[in-house]
């Protein structure tokens, strides 16, 4: 099998794909990370590992890497979003946002409204902001108004992808939120907007 040092040297200078079959999950995770630099040739092996590995962390990290490969990975990532493992489902949901395909929006809307795992709901809200489809705006506004603190915070950030008076009002209202981390992120968002709008001297 080789020592971890030998394997690291092999990953640095060669093909990481064979190491995806290593019996040690920590080595498979290193191989998954190294596959990010292979381009589209890594999609097939990563799809296999994301669906079939026995370790949830390996599967989740494969999905995270797949998110960087764009639309070619969409179907494989979407198929893992309902996984029974929260770690895997969260990673797949986050990857949908990175891929940016509007086809994911209906599922993301249903997920941010009703998924039993808070981490997956948060990931769905972030993904909606990353995709930037206007269908998300009503759900994000509702999340800012009535979600739990982590959800409200995520929704404030997600709303920065959109324009309009309702969006501006929701972010401004979040400055007065009862939770300090929601207030903090709203202040940060509004501070960036003020800086961006300020005319350049000279």
Q: Which CATH class is domain 1-99?
A: mainly alpha
Q: State yes or no: pLDDT of 200 exceeds 60.
A: no
Count of Cβ atoms closer than 10 Å to residue 2 Cβ: 12
> What's the CA gap between 141 and 87, in Å, rounded?
26
> What's the CA gap between 76 and 104, in Å, rounded?
12
User: What is the model's pLDDT at position 37?
Assistant: 86
> What's the CA gap between 85 and 57, in Å, rounded?
10
Q: What is the pLDDT of residues 134-172, one digit of tens each?
A: 999 999 999 999 889 999 999 999 999 999 999 999 999
- Which ranges in the chain are annotated with CATH 1.25.10.10? 1-99, 101-202
Architecture of the domain made up of 101-202:
Alpha Horseshoe (1.25)
Q: State yes or no: pLDDT of 194 exceeds 60.
A: no
What's the pTM?
0.87
Of the candidates 82, 38, 80, the residue with the CA atom closest to the CA atom of residue 59: 80
Q: What is the mean pLDDT of residues 1-15?
A: 69
User: What is the model's pLDDT at position 128?
Assistant: 98
> What's the CA gap between 202 and 200, in Å, rounded?
7
């Amino acid at each position: 099998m080789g020592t971890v040092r030998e394997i690291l040297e092999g990953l640095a200078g060669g093909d990481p794909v064979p190491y995806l079959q290593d019996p040690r999950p920590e080595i498979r995770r290193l191989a998954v990370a190294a596959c990010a630099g292979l381009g589209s040739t890594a999609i097939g092996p990563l799809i296999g590992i994301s669906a079939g590995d026995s370790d949830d962390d390996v599967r989740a990290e494969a999905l995270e890497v797949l998110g960087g490969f764009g639309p070619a990975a969409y179907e494989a990532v979407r198929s893992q979003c309902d996984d029974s493992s929260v770690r895997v489902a969260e990673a797949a949901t986050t990857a949908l946002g990175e891929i940016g395909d509007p086809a994911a929006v209906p599922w993301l809307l249903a997920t941010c409204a009703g998924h039993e795992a808070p981490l997956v709901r948060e990931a769905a809200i972030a993904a909606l902001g990353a995709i930037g489809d206007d269908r998300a705006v009503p759900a994000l506004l509702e999340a800012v108004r009535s979600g739990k603190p982590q959800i409200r915070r995520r929704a404030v950030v997600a709303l920065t992808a959109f324009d309009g008076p309702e969006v501006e009002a929701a972010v401004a209202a979040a400055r007065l939120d009862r939770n300090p981390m929601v207030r903090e992120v709203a202040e940060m968002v509004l501070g960036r907007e003020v800086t961006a709008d300020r005319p350049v001297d000279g």
